[in-house]
Amino acid sequence: MTLLQLKMKKAELRNRMDIERKEGNLCIQPETFIEYQDVIRALKWAESRLLRPIVISLLLVLFILGGCAKVMQGTGLIFEGVGDGVVAGGQHLQESSSNR
């Protein structure tokens, strides 16, 4: 069964249990309850199988973004160093030209 079919079966069984409670003085049929528990178990298993790749994908995206942030920070530091060098060179040129 697909995930959608399991969810539809769960809703159907829940409705059937509600009807049985109303008709039978708050009692439901044991077969209905057992079938409902089986569907719940299958639904949890299917959702856990689906959730695992999603969580792994999200973690990989976070690691990639974290790595990109480090690269951007390193590039910024390089450009900052180049900028400082240009400013220091300009000051040196200015001082040397004023000494003449």
Per-residue tens of pLDDT for the chain, all 100 residues = 788 898 999 999 999 988 888 887 778 888 888 999 999 999 989 888 888 888 888 888 877 777 776 777 777 777 777 777 777 777 766 666 666 5
For residue 3, which of 43, 39, 40 has the smallest C-alpha distance? 43
- CA atoms in the 13 A half-sphere facing the CB of 65: 6
Residues in CB range of 75: below 8 A, 6 or more apart: none
Q: What is the pTM of this model?
A: 0.52
Domain limits for position 32 = 3-98
Q: Cα(99)–Cα(27) distance, rounded to whole angstroms?
A: 103
pLDDT of residue 38: 94
Amino acid at 14: R
Look at the chain and report how many structural domains it folds into. 1
